[in-house]
Structure 1
């Protein structure tokens, strides 16, 4: 800009100098007219001529200056305004003055710079949107701290997990946001050592205890500058729960298999050694061995059946099935156990209720639920079975007057080998897999199984199965 203003001032000075020289020359030609012997009329004519020359010079000068302003100053003002808009972030501003070759070049240069700035701005906005989407889409909690330990990035998962507002956390240090003490210590260690850290932590939240796999690492810029650290916290609560279930399953299987095998082995060794001579005692031993072998067989069959269901190779055959007939057949199967405990089964159901289902699997479900109700009920109590239609599903309800289940035990009730009362379950001959099988069969029919219970009052199992076949 200084270059153009200098040229404008120089040109204006040259023009004025030329006009003044010309004016001086003209005045010099008539200098003798100022003598005392010159007629006053001639002098008056000269002054009129001189005034005319001055006015003409003024008009020419004004015309030349106007052309200079139009040629140079106005384009410069226009270009200055465009540059100011670009400086304020309006990258859509463009220069349009192309009256001269210099202006044309300057216009093209400014517009080229504006176009590149607009492209870079759009690219930066797109990259920021991508980063924001990526950070928000990560299934783990993410925190990024600057070099001074202040938070400069929080993702949505962290906000939802810890019930915090990300905007309120911005600018705070890691010690001011209420993280668990072990996570704070590890973050401080990462700041001090600038090394990658990985560890597990337990966090107490509103939903309960959550297990987190925490990964922390320093953030290094392109030029090797240390920019801060990033912390990623992955929720592994479900993995921990499944691992505990696996451990419990292995321990339970080992225990359930060991008990009958030990009994069979011990009694058979006594019989082979000839320690027992009394025929009655021998018969008792053989009956115990037979009973334990049956229990072992049932356990293996249930394990194989459950394994087949969980592998996905379990299939059901859908055909029109009368739910009422399924309930009646199941009651006949458990009738002997009902009579042993002097119990009664009350029925509340229509004469017929047809649904598409697997008949044998439904019988297995009902037998398991009835056996479970009988096993955990006192003598001379009532088991109530009802069938009704609710919102497009058939609801089969089995209600007992048994010992009930603690609320803390309900979530694990359908786990394999989970028992409320191990001694009573073992006495009743149960394998601990019945309810797990019930759940899998119900889900294979696109149905559900739920349970409600009150200690000392009884338990209610509800099976919901679709009335119309679902593919």
Structure 2
């Protein structure tokens, strides 16, 4: 802005000089009045006229200069100030000088530009907020790298999954942020080929091994400019686990079905080959075939029951049920197995505990838990059953003095066909579906079942059932 003042002052000085020169030329016509033969009064009058003229010219020039500054310099200064604020990002700044037609047009032009800048800024801020919300809402980890391989975008899921601070990662290359080596190799291939790639990776996190489905693609701008690449990592750990459970189920059910079928087929062939002639051998073979057919029937019934539960078609009939009666009836059912192993069931139950539940289903739960406790316990040991009210729930505890369960096996204990000791389970006639059925029945009653165990000491199952019916 100083340049404008300097130029204006320079122009004014030039004009003043020209006027003074012109004035000097005019006044020079009167130089003869300064001769020696001119009266002193006339010379004095001339000097007064000369000084008055100079003062008058100076005043006129100052007035002209002030008007020029007021009309041109001040509006320019105001407009320059508004433009500077707009350049600094203050899009609320507005021009308000409309003293002349030119200033009015310039004011409208500057204010129009300011309004458009403000609108564009608001639109960009809204789009950035939408993009930030969208990126944060994606259920997968997302990374975006610039053209030189530096991180310029990290979403919240990546930070939570990999326990990293997104601000610390900004500006670092993909080789400096701690990704697994196979992901780094694939990212480098995407940079080199500029092609979409999809692959799977396993990373070790604090929670354990995490399976990732990784999608990488180049980012192309509107004008075809290559901006970088984007990496999306979807956690498929649960899908991998479920796939493994499915494979295990198919393998286990095939094995469980094959074993009794093989026995029945083998002994029936032996009978057909002539063993039927010996009454003792025939009876022994028939007993084995009967036992295996019962086992096959139990397995199929449990499979159908469990399938019904998992499809959602499983229903329970809630009526007022006395848990004491449920426990006592369950003990009667397993009493023969208790006597075979010379064991004892120690009861700690109140006189009566009423809850809304399905009596027969709860008996099935208790029988399964008691059968497990008996099957995995040594002879002459004690199984403890405890029933007590805990706030709004009834807690049923079944404690044995059996072989116990390894901590690594506890998370899979309620899976179908999962066995801690396959040989012992098969000898006891179990199908491997008991605990899975227990879990479904308890959850259908809006309850929970938990397990604690110590190898060589025993196992404790706890069931929590609500005292009042829940909608």
The TM-score by the shorter chain falls in which range?
over 0.9
TM-score between the two structures when normalised by the length of structure 1: 0.95
The Cα shift of 1:4 comes to 8.4
After TM superposition, list the pairs within 5 Å mapping 1:302-313 onto structure 2.
302-313=302-313
Q: Which moved more, 1:264-273 or 1:295-304?
A: 264-273
The Cα shift of 1:7 comes to 10
Counterpart of 2:387?
387
Distance in 1, matches of 2:120 and 2:8, equals 36
Counterpart of 1:375?
375
Q: Which moved more, 1:423-432 or 1:266-275?
A: 266-275
Distance in 2, matches of 1:29 and 1:10, equals 29
Counterpart of 1:233?
233
Counterpart of 2:282?
282
Distance in 2, matches of 1:163 and 1:170, equals 15
Counterpart of 1:157?
157
Contact persistence 1:406–1:455 (CA under 8 A): yes
Contact persistence 2:275–2:281 (CA under 8 A): no
Distance in 1, matches of 2:391 and 2:60, equals 98
Contact persistence 1:8–1:72 (CA under 8 A): no
Counterpart of 1:294?
294
Counterpart of 2:139?
139
SS in 1 for 2:90: coil
The Cα shift of 1:15 comes to 6.3
Matched, 1:166 2:160: no
Q: Which moved more, 1:292-301 or 1:277-286?
A: 277-286
TM-score between the two structures when normalised by the length of structure 2: 0.95
The Cα shift of 1:391 comes to 3.0
Distance in 2, matches of 1:31 and 1:330, equals 143
SS in 2 for 1:200: strand
Distance in 2, matches of 1:405 and 1:375, equals 13
Q: Deviations over 1:160-184 (max 9, x none)?
A: 2222222222222222222111111
Q: Deviations over 1:132-161 (max 9, x none)?
A: 222222111111112212211222222222
Q: Deviations over 1:441-463 (max 9, x none)?
A: 11111111000001111000000
After TM superposition, list the pairs within 5 Å mapping 1:28-67 onto structure 2.
30-67=30-67
RMSD: 2.2
Counterpart of 1:102?
102
Distance in 2, matches of 1:5 and 1:445, equals 89
SS in 2 for 1:461: strand
Contact persistence 2:264–2:293 (CA under 8 A): yes
Counterpart of 2:207?
207
Unaligned runs of 5+ in 2: none
Contact persistence 2:143–2:153 (CA under 8 A): yes
The Cα shift of 1:41 comes to 1.3
Counterpart of 1:461?
461
Counterpart of 1:320?
320
The Cα shift of 1:5 comes to 8.0
Q: Deviations over 1:109-136 (max 9, x none)?
A: 1111111111111211222222222222
Distance in 2, matches of 1:345 and 1:395, equals 18
Contact persistence 1:136–1:156 (CA under 8 A): yes
SS in 2 for 1:403: coil
Count of residue correspondences? 471
Matched, 1:337 2:337: yes
Distance in 2, matches of 1:4 and 1:96, equals 21
Contact persistence 1:4–1:72 (CA under 8 A): no
Distance in 2, matches of 1:7 and 1:379, equals 113
Q: Which moved more, 1:321-330 or 1:13-22?
A: 13-22
Counterpart of 1:430?
430
SS in 2 for 1:158: helix
The Cα shift of 1:389 comes to 1.5
Distance in 2, matches of 1:171 and 1:263, equals 68
Contact persistence 1:405–1:454 (CA under 8 A): yes
Distance in 2, matches of 1:104 and 1:25, equals 43
The Cα shift of 1:27 comes to 3.0
SS in 1 for 2:276: coil
The Cα shift of 1:8 comes to 5.9
Distance in 1, matches of 2:8 and 2:98, equals 18
SS in 2 for 1:212: strand
